[in-house]
Amino acid sequence: MATLELKRVDKAFGETKIIHGVDLAVTDGEFVVFVGPSGCGKSTLLRLIAGLESATGGDILLDSQRVNDVAASARGCAMVFQSYALYPHMSVYDNMAFGLQNMGVARDVIAAKVKAAAALLRLDELLQRKPTQLSGGQRQRVAIGRAIVREPKLFLFDEPLSNLDAELRVSMRAEIRDLHSRLKATMIYVTHDQVEAMTMADKIVVLRAGRIEQVGSPLTLYNTPANTFVAGFIGSPRMNLVPAAAAVAGGARLPVPDAHTIGIRPEHASVAADGPLRVRITQVEQLGGSSLLHGRIADDLPFEIVLQGQTEVQRGDTVGVALPAEHLHSFDRDGRRL
């Protein structure tokens, strides 16, 4: 399909700089997810790749060719937006065919491409329906089908599942991932939902304030976060971050003596009477197969614990928590991993 390379890409709106010198390489057939909090620049970066915005500085290369000055329509990218943007008066078939018709593609070629895309997306029986007769998931598949028929070099998804309910989001995540494996296409997907990022990506790009904080596989980011921002953003529930001094005062053994902050995943913390950390439980979520304890430690810092199975710990209890040294993450005063 396509390779993509960003070299020191900047974007400013007037005096306000949004993207700061971004470097990134996406290999052929890779599924890359941009993730970060609202306002971090992930959608702006996607629009720069698509050609919907112009870069203030740096180079954007598709298949090793600089495309900064190439119009969006000529870049070979197809974008799927958060809103389905379907024509309500047109059938599913016509919505999927419309772009090709405008390009002057022969009618029989359009029919073949729409039929193939519909089969791929399980829309065969719905081609004559109007968008108002479809469910949210079906409408999103039509929007994806409209992109597929163009046979783009690069698929770009801008939070495509945000308008779906929770159950549909889960099923559509699996469908898009399955689609990627069948098409062997290069895809870039934007989301603020780190669970989507973890479950879908070959590679995750974590953004904050227009800068890349870390790039890596989901498990690389989960197991070895580069800083406290990534540690706190990737994972659900998020990693607990505790001042090292508080842990040492309780008798914890630190893997790095000069650590300023230590982190531990909620599933690696366990309730133990003689644990070095005292946690006041503020809420208990009984999930059946597991239990999630929300609590507070000294200085009113939040701390969460995931226990396997069910628990008798109740709201208002104060429990000791063990901090196994092999599961601790150490960070310096600036939040960087040690």
User: Is the peptide bond preceding residue 237 cis, with omega within 30 degrees of 0?
Assistant: yes
Residue extent(s) of CATH 2.40.50.140 domains in the chain = 237-331
Q: For position 1, what pLDDT does the model report?
A: 66
CA–CA gap between residue 147 and residue 7 (Å, rounded):
27
CATH number of 4-231: 3.40.50.300
Q: For position 213, what pLDDT does the model report?
A: 98
Angle between helices 136-148 and 166-183 (to 10 degrees): 20
CA–CA gap between residue 128 and residue 201 (Å, rounded):
34
Interacting residues of 51 by C-beta distance below 8 A, sequence separation 6+: 67, 70, 71, 72, 73, 75, 77
Strand order in the sheet with 318-322: 270-271, 318-322, 277-286, 290-297, 301-308
- Global pTM reads 0.92
CA–CA gap between residue 265 and residue 184 (Å, rounded):
34
Residue extent(s) of CATH 3.40.50.300 domains in the chain = 4-231
- Would you state the torsion angle of the CA atoms of residues 70, 75, 79, 85, taken in this order, to the nearest 10 degrees? 70
Regions of the chain with pLDDT less than 50: none
CATH number of 237-331: 2.40.50.140
Instruction: Give burial (CB, 10 Å; 0-12/13-18/19+) of 90.
Output: middle
Chain position carrying tokens 């650590």: 259
Angle between helices 107-120 and 92-102 (to 10 degrees): 130
Helices (H), the chain: 42-50, 92-102, 107-120, 136-148, 166-183, 194-200, 218-223, 228-233, 244-249
